[in-house]
């Protein structure tokens, strides 16, 4: 099968020290890829490179056979920290509707200046996306009144409403409790039947129950395998004395 995300020899640095060096990674359609690694190991940076929000200093990233920056509308992104103020005067429904921007618009820079009107189909799509993440009752709520878990579901709906072919999530369960963590990953497992999923997490043991493959990133690609992650790899990744909890597959 051909890969839909193709990363070759990518290195990236924000300033003097390299954040990522020489990353090679291919993702095939339909995969559920977990990206794990220590804090500041470059996981979020890798996602931003794939999304085309950052450009690598060397190497190439092709997404659906295009340069990454031209493929972002085919991707749905759920950020780790929402980059908006919580007291913004906006309802859940309006937030999710933003995920419809750019749909039905042609390619190229002139099309992007076309005003474009929202259509009736947008309303239906917003309702469906909210129902899919089990947040239908939140539509009229102000965004600041949501709990961490509810906000996460809404951001997931905003990513889904644009009919992405790949869903990219950065630590989707960092700010919510464990029971909810399981619910979100069950939801992702279901979505994986119709789209490719990339999820960043620091919790190797937890996500290996759900994902089909794990990529471990700590500046370089440390491991890259379908097998269970064993103690040795974890030590490579995080250094000494990491407590492993065995679990059956």
Judged by CB under 8 A, the stretch of 34-42, 67-75, 219-227, 236-244 that binds another protein is 67-75
Task: Give the separation between CA 38 and CA 92, rounded to whole angstroms.
Answer: 33
x-or-dash string of contact with another protein, 138-177, rule CB under 8 A? ----x---------------x---x---------------
CB of 238 to another protein, least distance (A): 29
CB of 205 to another protein, least distance (A): 30
**CB neighbours of residue 38 within 10 Å:** 16
Per rule CB under 8 A, count of chain residues that contact another protein: 32
Binding another protein by CB under 8 A: which of 89, 193, 241, 245? Answer: 89
Q: Is residue 53 close enough to count as binding another protein by CB under 8 A?
A: yes
Question: What does the DSSP 8-state code read for residue 239?
Answer: -
Cα angle vertex 21, ends 20, 27, to 5°?
75
The tokens for 89 are 């005067």
Nearest-CA neighbor of 159 among 192, 202, 126, 207?
126
Smallest CA-to-CA distance from 182 within 154, 213, 206, 214 is with 206
- Structure-token match 């493929």, residue found: 71
Query: What distance in Å separates the CA atoms of residue 131 and residue 138, rounded to the nearest whole number?
Result: 10
3-state secondary structure of 36: strand
> Roughly how many angstroms between the first and final C-alpha of the chain, as a whole number?
25
Q: Is 104 in the site for another protein (CB under 8 A)?
A: no
121 binds another protein (CB under 8 A): no
Tokens of 125: 């799509």
Q: Are strands 32-36 and 213-218 parallel, antiparallel or unpaired?
A: parallel
Question: Residue 24 is encoded by which pair of tokens?
Answer: 């090679």
Query: Does residue 102 belong to the site contacting another protein (CB under 8 A)?
Result: yes
Does residue number 113 form part of the binding site for another protein (CB under 8 A)?
yes
Residue 80 within binding range of another protein, rule CB under 8 A: no
Stretch that binds another protein, among 25-33, 54-62, 111-119, 200-208 (CB under 8 A): 111-119
Q: Does the protein bind another protein through residue 116 (CB under 8 A)?
A: yes
Binding another protein (rule: CB under 8 A), the pick from 51, 157, 188, 214 is 51
Instruction: Answer yes or no whether residue 85 interacts with another protein by CB under 8 A.
Output: yes
Nearer to another protein, 162 or 218 (CB): 162
Question: Could you list the residues that contact another protein (CB under 8 A)?
Answer: 51-53, 72-73, 75, 77, 79, 82-85, 88-91, 94-95, 98-99, 101-102, 105, 109, 112-113, 115-116, 118, 142, 158, 162
């Amino acid at each position: 099968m051909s890969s839909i995300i193709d990363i070759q020899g990518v290195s990236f640095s924000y300033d003097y020290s390299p954040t990522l060096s020489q990353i090679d990674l291919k993702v095939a359609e339909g995969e559920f890829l977990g990206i794990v690694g220590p804090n500041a190991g470059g996981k979020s940076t890798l996602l931003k490179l794939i999304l085309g929000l950052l450009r690598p200093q060397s190497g190439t990233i092709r997404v659906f056979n295009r340069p990454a920056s031209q493929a972002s509308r085919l991707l749905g992104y759920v950020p780790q920290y929402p980059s908006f103020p919580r007291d913004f005067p906006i309802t859940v429904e309006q937030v999710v509707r933003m995920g419809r921007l750019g749909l039905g618009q042609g390619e190229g820079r002139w099309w992007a200046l076309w005003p474009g009107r929202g259509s009736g189909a947008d309303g239906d799509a917003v309702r469906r996306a909210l129902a899919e993440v089990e947040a239908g009752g939140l539509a009229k709520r102000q965004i600041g009144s949501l709990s961490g878990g509810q906000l996460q579901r809404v951001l997931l709906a905003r990513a889904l409403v644009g009919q992405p072919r790949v869903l990219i999530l950065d630590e989707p369960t960092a700010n919510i409790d464990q029971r909810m963590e399981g619910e979100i990953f069950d939801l992702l497992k279901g979505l994986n039947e119709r789209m490719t999923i990339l999820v960043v997490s620091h919790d190797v043991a937890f996500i290996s129950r759900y994902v089909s493959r794990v990529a471990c990133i700590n500046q370089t690609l440390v491991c890259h395998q379908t097998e269970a992650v064993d103690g040795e790899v974890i030590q490579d990744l995080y250094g000494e004395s990491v407590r492993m909890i065995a679990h059956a597959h």
